[in-house]
Amino acid sequence: MNQPPIPPIPESQSRQCPNCGQSVATNAPRCTNCGAALITSSSPGVWKVLLACALGLVALGLGAMGACFMLFGGLSLTSGNFSLAFIGLLLSGGAALCIWGAVRLLKR
């Protein structure tokens, strides 16, 4: 089939493909000639990285406290006291949620 030729893109709305040199639209995700990806992923903002680091530190603290509570709660399981082990489990779950939140934040 004969397709009509693609009209040229005005210079003010175009850029060159770094792979083949073809003129492509500024907002095009791929080169129409060679298919090379043109839009690079943006890096996370500074506030996202700082918030993810803060979540990581909170996760570290919660995880350490949870491990201590589980250790001492596990030692007291012979007396039938499950409360310390349960608190340790809750703290470890909180640490896991902080890590999950940090990963999700950085993926956006």
pLDDT of 42: 63
- CA 83 to CA 48: how far, in whole Å? 36
Structure tokens at 68: 């201590």
Higher pLDDT: 1 or 65? It is 65
Mean pLDDT across 66-86: 75
pLDDT of 58: 93
14-71 pLDDT, tens digit each: 788 888 888 888 778 888 888 888 776 666 678 888 898 999 999 999 999 988 888 8
pLDDT of 79: 63
pLDDT of 59: 93
The secondary structure of 16-62, three-state, reads: ECCCCCCEEECCCCECCCCCCECCCCCCCCHHHHHHHHHHHHHHHHH
Q: Give the pTM.
A: 0.53
Structure tokens at 108: 């956006």
Higher pLDDT: 8 or 85? It is 85
